Structure 1
Amino acid sequence: MNEQYLQTLGQQAKQASFALANLSSTQKSTLLNAIASSLTAAADEIVAANEQDVAAAKAAGLNQAMIDRLLLNHERLSGVIADIDNVVGLPDPIGREFDSRLLENGMRLCRRSVPLGVIGVIYEARPNVTVDIAVLALKTGNAVILRGGKETLNSNMAIAKVIRAAVASCGLPEDAVQLIDNPDRSLVTGLLKLDSYVDMIVPRGGDKLQRLCAEQATIPVILGGIGICHMYVDKAAELERSTDVIINAKVQRPTVCNALDTVLVHEAVAADYLPTLAAALTAQGVKLVGCEATSKLLPAYDIEAATDESFSTEWLSLTIGIKIVADIDAAIAHIRQFSSGHSEAILTDDIAAATHFMNEVNSAAVYLNASTRFTDGGQFGLGAEVAVSTQKLHARGPMGLEALTTYKWLAVGDYTARS
């Protein structure tokens, strides 16, 4: 039964993708504006559905970090809808022609950007992803099959219902956006093998989901969304200003993938700086997990002993790892060992150290004197994002519109035959 259900979803999505592929930029803007208006009109209904999910999550004993991730109140929903306006204002990447050239045989050759076709997205917890991905997919002429987590099923169903109605109101097939509304986990593995219809899979979730998709999919998979992010405080850092950046990266929203997980501190400034940093972090309710040298420097604090396992953990909570390192190369070595390839930062006023760090650290986003919290499609000017890719093919970092396109070669001859 599940197999037939997925086959039907795939067929409907593929058929819908044909209707989307050649929409004009004006038609897409009209569509996205209709979605924004419909979501605004249905805000009370969507928030009420989310309240059911939050209540169920609390009853099930989910931790506060997970509850924060699935929360979609009126304020957050307004922000999600406002992001649609940002996407409307972005240039349409579809139909752009580039690399035009005239071959020696007289044939004119170029590449034209086109939609991927059908995108399958598997995600956990956050219901705003349902809107973000649907909007980006439609802006790029792609149909999408969504499979959210069971924790946000009511929210996702309410949102998908509104989006599908808005799509239909514009004279387009509502199956351009489809939600798998059955929590049966076998539907995930089934979706991963729907290669007759789905062109790309994007998993947004923890390591288990990423591994499952990588191992079982017969469709290209974009891995990402796991952020084990580091910030290195160099001996030439402006320490008074560094604390605010670290607090921002850790505390502003600790449950997201670009939140800071580990601070690396040069041993030359550790004795002077760590007491100040520890006081600032604990004042914000942050739990400290530190190396042996950190614990010795901070005897007044209840510091949990750091291990390779803790340094390999994406905290998604008010917990942070601290390690004192001998020099910048030791910091880089630690990042290479434990990073997920998401976001790393250096705080320093030494241009040579900054250049060395940014050249040697090969994560999707590398920062100088800035918070890791900026790794985000909206902050990068990409509009909303499908995911943050930590791999190198075909997209890397925040995946905006261009990451949902491919291209085809167009060749124009004069009844040209190959000699």
Structure 2
Amino acid sequence: MNTLLSIEKRNAVLSRMAELLEQERANLKSINQQDMSNYSGDDLAMEKRLLVNDAKVDAMILSMQQLASQEDPVGQVRFNFTHENGMKVTNKTAAFGTIMIIYESRPDVTVEAGGIAFKSGNKILLKGGKESLLSNLKIVSLWHQALEENEISKDWVEYLNYNRAETQAFLENPTQRVDLIVPRGGEQLIAFTKKHATCPVIVSGRGNNFVYVNKEADLKKALDIIINGKTTNIGVCNALDKVLIDTKLPNWEVFAKQLVEELKKYKVEILGDTAFANATQIPVIENDEIWYEEFLNYKIVVGIVNSDEEAIAKINKYCGGHSASIITQNDAVAQDFMDNVDSAAVYQNASTRFTDGGQFGLGGELAISTDKLHQRGPIGLQHLVTNKWYIYGEGQIR
């Protein structure tokens, strides 16, 4: 068990990490180019996540600076109670101990997720994907430098360079204590981790997010929000995959054609249910199974519903429990939709692309949980803690 590092020590490491990332910017980018050229390039979303450019380095540096300036999430008092016998009972936040992060292709996770877990008092085990190995090892060497310069053991951040079989063996029978595992990646990675892990897993789930255009929608807002959700970044879990349109929307067929025209400008493949396909002459979906799919690509499915209730039911049946947005000028209808859609984040008149720790004011996130325990949605610094009871007595017995 690692003794908890003081908040001053933790912050010093994070601040130093920000400086080192700036110093080593050119090196990191050129090492990442080796990873990029080694990558087979058959998955567009994966390739986008693998690249480290100036914008990504800037974001890594900013996340370290923000984390260093945030208050300590450990030791926060959540509950106080004085027993009738005089005992003082307090519940405080506590570190988990050791957190393992399993992820694919994204070197920025090595910085940002590692940083959040470290700031909240935990030892970090990083298991990145083989496609980003060189970039990850470079970043871990910076972590080690920041730790050693602050006279802290390098063991606080450890990189597990394991293949699939070794990873499975470690999950099933860890050679060191692991308190929590966070898989960051596609459905296969998450299923693999859940199947083999022997300790709690926070599921950073799939997206498959919906926008519902209600009959009282502002259609300009609807178009902008759908285009933004679908086209700005296809490789992320908060991207948009499905659109539902209310048949009570005046001239919904006109809006449908307009939507198709806009999406085609971005070379998005559009499929529709029978009613939408008939109205717009686009291909019809082969079967309803596609409503469950997360695309991570320039692809969208649009369908027609006859009521708000039908929209809510359809979203709850098919969505990934991540994000859903209603476009409407009627606040009461929006509130009903938001209360009844079973997703981690629900929106009125805004893009699902905002489901993100940084955008929600958390200063980044470790994961976006689609589980309901122990925290749902973006998991920020203040959520990456467990709790502990402190009882102060003077000899009381029961």
Verify the 8 A CA contact 1:123 1:204 in the aligned structure 2: yes
Aligned pair 1:287/2:249, yes or no?
no
Q: In structure 2, do the counterparts of structure 1 residues 170 and 411 end up closer, same or farther at CA, with 3 Å as the change threshold?
A: same
Contact 1:289 1:306 in 2 (8 A): no
CA contact (8 A) 2:203 2:370 kept: yes
Q: Counterparts in 2 of 1:154-165, with a 5 A limit?
A: 154-165=134-145
Is 2:82 aligned against 1:102?
A: yes
Asked if residue 46 in structure 1 is aligned to residue 11 in structure 2, the reply is: no
- CA deviation string 1:20-50 (max 9, x = no partner): x1413x3322111001111111111211121
Gaps of 5+ in 1: 1-13
Q: Read off the aligned partner of 1:187 and give its amino acid letter.
A: E
SS in 2 for 1:111: strand
Q: Offset at 1:89?
A: 2.2
Correspondence 1:9-20 to 2 at 5 A: 14=1, 17-18=2-3
1:397 maps to 2:380: no
Give the match for residue 188 of structure 1.
167
Kindly indicate whether residue 318 of structure 2 is the aligned counterpart of residue 335 of structure 1: no
- Map Cα deviations across residues 228-263 of structure 1 (whole Å, 9 max, x no partner): 111100011111221111111111111100000101
Separation in 2, partners of 1:188, 1:195: 11
Alignment partner, residue 116 of structure 2: 136
**C-alpha distance in 2 between matches for 1:224 and 1:81:** 23
Equivalent residue, structure 1, for 2:193: 213
Report what 2:68 is aligned to. Answer: 88
Q: CA deviation at 1:196?
A: 5.5
Q: For residue 197 of structure 1, what is the aligned residue in structure 2?
A: 177
Determine if contact 1:39/1:163 at 8 Å carries over to the other structure: no
Aligned residues: percent identity?
Answer: 37
Distance 1:82 1:304 in 2: 45
Residue 94 of structure 2 is matched in structure 1 by 114
AA at the equivalent of 1:165: Q
Tell me the residue number matched to 1:64.
Answer: 44
Distance 1:61 1:112, change over 3 A: closer
Q: Which AA in structure 2 matches 1:141? A: G
Q: 1:257 & 1:238 partners in 2: Cα distance? A: 26
Whether the 8 Å contact between 1:263 and 1:323 is mirrored in structure 2 is yes
Once the two structures are superposed, the pairs formed by residues 242-253 of structure 1 within 5 Å of their partners are 242-253=222-233
**Distance (whole Å) between structure 2 residues aligned to residue 44 and residue 170 of structure 1:** 24
Q: Which amino acid aligns with 2:272?
A: G
Runs of 4+ off more than 6 Å: none
Q: Cα offset for 1:306?
A: 5.0
TM-score by length of 1: 0.91
Partner of 2:216: 236
Give the whole-Å Cα distance in 1 for the aligned partners of 2:286 and 2:299: 12
Give the unaligned 5+ runs of structure 2: none
Using a 3 Å threshold, how does the CA distance of structure 1 residues 81 and 366 change in structure 2: closer, same or farther? same
**What CA deviation, in whole Å up to 9, does each residue of 1:330-351 have, x standing for no partner?**
1111111111111111111112
Q: Normalising by structure 2, report the TM-score.
A: 0.96
Match in the other structure for 2:341: 361
